[in-house]
């Protein structure tokens, strides 16, 4: 189940195991049968830590979703609330507890705050007069959840980072990031070098250093696993998430959206795979839910490829598999047959995995070959190469006129603004007016939010420094090789994500070579060193790679992850990357989190 977490350079299963241990300890603290009442948001991330079977082993008999009114009937001794520390949830819980008390059912209430307990919430429970009803109030520190062998995400458990942190300057999520990094260091040793770029990065680094001071003396004596940490503020690279991702995994996310490692796909394509007996009966109407991670061999192989290279990879794989199946004819001796049979389950799994991904690839291909997709991509690439970024774009105009989805429009307009270092006031007002008239005036607040974060902005200086940045960092590569990539730019078929370029340059030759550009990008850049206890200095073997943890504050896209994996695998790269983030995002989900009333936008 979790084996894939331990294959990477850093065994992230340690983190998962630590989390599981803590969960078991809490459950054992409430003796007897239990029912868990879930804050719905938590079920996804928790699924990555523990399955229902673990809960069941610890006498969890029922699970409910947290909602107002009375709790569903359950013949259990303990009721445990698993919730995020949010005031509105406290009110619901109070309602639950009060109605339960009225029934005089002899139950023990417990509360587990995820990821951290909050005095504010406890105060609220006290005001509601139910704090005393809880036998246990505890916290379950779940900051960084392992999503894959090289990927950790906080999944914005506590707070929507993009919205709260960048719009409301609420630094809660940064505090949790720092705490999460401290937990990580407790398990994997102190990270000797910290680099960073951006306001938030600076803030997190400061908090980390402060926390280290605060906990001086209680450090664990662990040989550091990570050589360095790079904190990147999303604010530094606003462009990348706006662009359409062109890797396989990126496209799945763009089109269908991946949540907590799962994707829901339209069922039609998958119906044929059912067993023949059932096939005729009825077409499945439920979306097909698939888990996507490196535990699946084929997926691990193709996820980070440019979509144009996926077809070839799939057909190659198909040949290998059918050849493997053909071997049965050549198996003559009993021993050979036995060996063949022993491989059969693995081969069958591979075959069904291949069938699934062929179907997904077909679904996506229908979209990528459409004219709309092509036109959109053309405009994106024009912006990224700096073509006519200072003029009204007719494609955007046409899209507005045809009332294409607002988020698509916003992505494009923001992209134009970012690539032009702001739009001329007249142009900006024109776009804004077009959007308000077409989609409704209520979106004024959304536009306001985008302006606050700098995604949309009026051009203040006459000089547009984006071309300089693009040229210095080689953000555009004309001849991106999609099949056999030799540069990270393959993930966007030409555009090399700025964030990853910064990471790449940091590893070699170092940021000193790009001081000028760093100054143009928002926020400070810095380097800090953390003292290691004596005797824990790593002696590097000849040719041994460095391990860098790259932490994206404010989200990271799958294409960026793919680019980092590409860098890790480069033969002469010399650095392997582990990726951590506050949330896994794509342009759509990102813009959505910045909208004022996203629910109003269907």
Site residues, other proteins (CB under 8 A): 85, 87-88, 116, 118-120, 123, 164, 168-172, 174-175, 178, 203, 207, 210, 213-218, 397-398, 400-403, 429, 432-434, 436-442, 444-445, 448, 596-597
Q: Is omega for the bond preceding 115 within 30 degrees of 0, making it cis?
A: yes
Q: For other proteins, give the closer residue by CB, 210 or 471.
A: 210
> What is the nearest approach in angstroms of other proteins to the Cβ of residue 139?
11
Q: Is omega for the bond preceding 509 within 30 degrees of 0, making it cis?
A: yes
Q: For other proteins, give the closer residue by CB, 120 or 387.
A: 120
> What is the nearest approach in angstroms of other proteins to the Cβ of residue 341?
45
Contacts of range 318-324, beta carbons closer than 8 Å, 24 or more positions apart: 318/354, 318/358, 321/347, 321/350, 321/351, 321/354
Q: How far apart are the first and last CA of the chain?
A: 36
Coil, strand or helix: which one is 437?
A: helix
* 81: β partners: 37, 111
Q: Are the CB atoms for 496 and 489 separated by under 8 Å?
A: yes
> What is the nearest approach in angstroms of other proteins to the Cβ of residue 50?
26
Q: How far is CA 530 from the centre of its chain?
A: 28
Coil, strand or helix: which one is 289?
A: strand
Q: For other proteins, give the closer residue by CB, 396 or 414.
A: 396
> What is the nearest approach in angstroms of other proteins to the Cβ of residue 374?
11
Which of 499, 410, 405, 419 is CA-nearest to residue 449?
410
> What is the nearest approach in angstroms of other proteins to the Cβ of residue 445?
6
> What is the nearest approach in angstroms of other proteins to the Cβ of residue 438?
4
Pairing of strands 193-197, 525-529: antiparallel
> What is the nearest approach in angstroms of other proteins to the Cβ of residue 395?
12
Q: For other proteins, give the closer residue by CB, 389 or 601.
A: 601
Q: For other proteins, give the closer residue by CB, 240 or 449.
A: 449
Task: Please name the residue ranges forming H helices in 420-514.
Answer: 425-439, 444-453, 466-472, 498-507
Please list the helix, strand and coil fractions of the chain in percent, rounded to the nearest 5, in that order: 50, 15, 35
> What is the nearest approach in angstroms of other proteins to the Cβ of residue 160?
11
Residue with tokens 């050549």: 330
Q: What are phi and psi of 104, to 5 degrees?
A: 60, 30
Continuous segment of H or E residues that includes residue 258: strand 258-259
| Token couple for 39 | 């804050």
Q: For other proteins, give the closer residue by CB, 291 or 394.
A: 394
Query: E strands along 1-58, which residues?
Result: 34-38
Tell me which DSSP letter residue 600 carries.
G
Coil, strand or helix: which one is 158?
A: coil
> What is the nearest approach in angstroms of other proteins to the Cβ of residue 487?
26
Q: For other proteins, give the closer residue by CB, 119 or 534.
A: 119
Q: For other proteins, give the closer residue by CB, 100 or 596.
A: 596
> What is the nearest approach in angstroms of other proteins to the Cβ of residue 456?
12
> What is the nearest approach in angstroms of other proteins to the Cβ of residue 89?
12
> What is the nearest approach in angstroms of other proteins to the Cβ of residue 137?
14
Tell me which DSSP letter residue 163 carries.
I
Q: For other proteins, give the closer residue by CB, 210 or 519.
A: 210
| Token couple for 420 | 């032009």
Q: For other proteins, give the closer residue by CB, 25 or 429.
A: 429
Map 513-573 to HEC letters: HHHHHHHHCCCCEEEEECCCCCCCCCCCCCCCCEEEEEEEECCECHHHHHHHHHHHHCCCC
Q: Are the CB atoms for 61 and 74 separated by under 8 Å?
A: yes
Which of 152, 147, 237, 86 is CA-nearest to residue 590?
237
Q: For other proteins, give the closer residue by CB, 163 or 501.
A: 163
Q: For other proteins, give the closer residue by CB, 119 or 323.
A: 119
Q: For other proteins, give the closer residue by CB, 59 or 596.
A: 596
Tell me which DSSP letter residue 46 carries.
H
Q: Are the CB atoms for 7 and 51 separated by under 8 Å?
A: no
> What is the nearest approach in angstroms of other proteins to the Cβ of residue 526?
17
Residue with tokens 């662990």: 222
């Amino acid at each position: 189940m979790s084996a894939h977490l331990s294959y990477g350079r850093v065994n992230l299963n340690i983190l998962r195991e630590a989390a599981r241990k803590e969960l078991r300890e809490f459950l054992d603290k409430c003796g007897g049968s239990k029912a868990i009442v879930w804050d719905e948001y938590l079920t996804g991330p928790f699924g990555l830590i523990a399955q229902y079977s673990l809960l069941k082993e610890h006498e969890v008999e029922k699970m409910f979703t947290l909602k107002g009114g009375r709790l569903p009937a359950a013949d259990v001794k303990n009721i445990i609330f698993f919730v995020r520390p949010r005031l509105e949830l406290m009110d619901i819980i109070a309602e639950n507890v009060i109605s339960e008390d009225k029934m005089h059912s002899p139950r023990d209430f417990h509360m587990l705050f995820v990821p951290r307990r909050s005095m504010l919430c406890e105060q609220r429970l006290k005001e509601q007069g139910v704090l005393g009803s809880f036998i246990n109030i505890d916290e379950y520190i779940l900051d960084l959840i392992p999503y894959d062998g090289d990927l950790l995400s906080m999944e914005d458990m506590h707070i929507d980072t993009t919205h709260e942190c960048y719009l409301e300057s609420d630094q809660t999520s940064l505090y949790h990031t720092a705490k999460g990094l401290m937990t990580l260091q407790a398990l994997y040793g102190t990270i000797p070098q910290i680099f960073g770029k951006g306001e938030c990065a600076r803030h997190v680094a400061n908090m980390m250093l402060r926390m280290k001071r605060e906990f001086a003396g209680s450090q664990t004596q662990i040989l550091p696993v990570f050589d360095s940490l790079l904190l990147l503020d999303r604010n530094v690279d606003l462009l990348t998430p706006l662009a359409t991702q062109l890797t396989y995994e990126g496209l799945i996310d763009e089109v269908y959206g991946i949540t907590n490692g799962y994707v829901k796909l339209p069922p039609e394509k998958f119906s044929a795979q059912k067993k023949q007996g059932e096939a005729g009966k009825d077409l499945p109407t439920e979306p097909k839910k698939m888990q996507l991670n490196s535990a699946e061999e084929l997926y691990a192989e193709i996820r980070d490829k440019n979509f144009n290279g996926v077809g070839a990879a799939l057909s190659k794989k198909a040949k290998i598999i059918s050849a493997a199946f053909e071997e049965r004819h050549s198996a003559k001796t009993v021993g050979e047959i036995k060996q063949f049979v022993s491989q059969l389950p693995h081969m069958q799994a591979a075959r069904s995995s291949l069938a699934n991904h062929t179907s997904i690839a077909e679904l996506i291909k229908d979209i990528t070959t459409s004219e709309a997709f092509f036109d959109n991509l053309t405009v994106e690439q024009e912006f990224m190469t700096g073509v006519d970024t200072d003029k009204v774009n007719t494609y955007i105009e046409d899209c507005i006129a045809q009332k294409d989805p607002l988020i698509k429009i916003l992505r494009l307009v923001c992209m134009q603004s970012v690539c032009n270092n702001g739009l001329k006031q007249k142009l900006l007002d024109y776009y804004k007016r077009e959007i308000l008239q077409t989609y409704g005036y209520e979106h004024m607040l959304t536009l306001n939010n985008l302006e606050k974060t700098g995604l949309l902005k009026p051009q203040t200086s006459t000089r547009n420094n984006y071309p300089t940045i693009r040229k210095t960092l080689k953000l555009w590569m004309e001849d991106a090789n999609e099949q056999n990539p030799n540069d990270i730019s393959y993930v966007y078929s030409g555009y090399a994500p700025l964030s990853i370029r910064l990471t790449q340059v940091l590893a070699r030759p170092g940021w000193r070579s790009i001081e000028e550009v760093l100054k143009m990008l928002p926020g400070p850049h810095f380097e800090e060193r953390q003292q290691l206890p004596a005797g824990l200095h790593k002696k590097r073997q000849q040719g041994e790679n460095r391990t860098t943890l790259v932490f994206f504050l404010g989200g990271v896209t799958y294409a960026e992850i793919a680019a980092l994996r590409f860098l890790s695998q480069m033969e002469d790269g010399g650095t392997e990357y582990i990726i951590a983030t506050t949330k896994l995002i794509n342009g759509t989900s990102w813009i959505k989190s910045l909208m004022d009333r996203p629910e109003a936008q269907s």
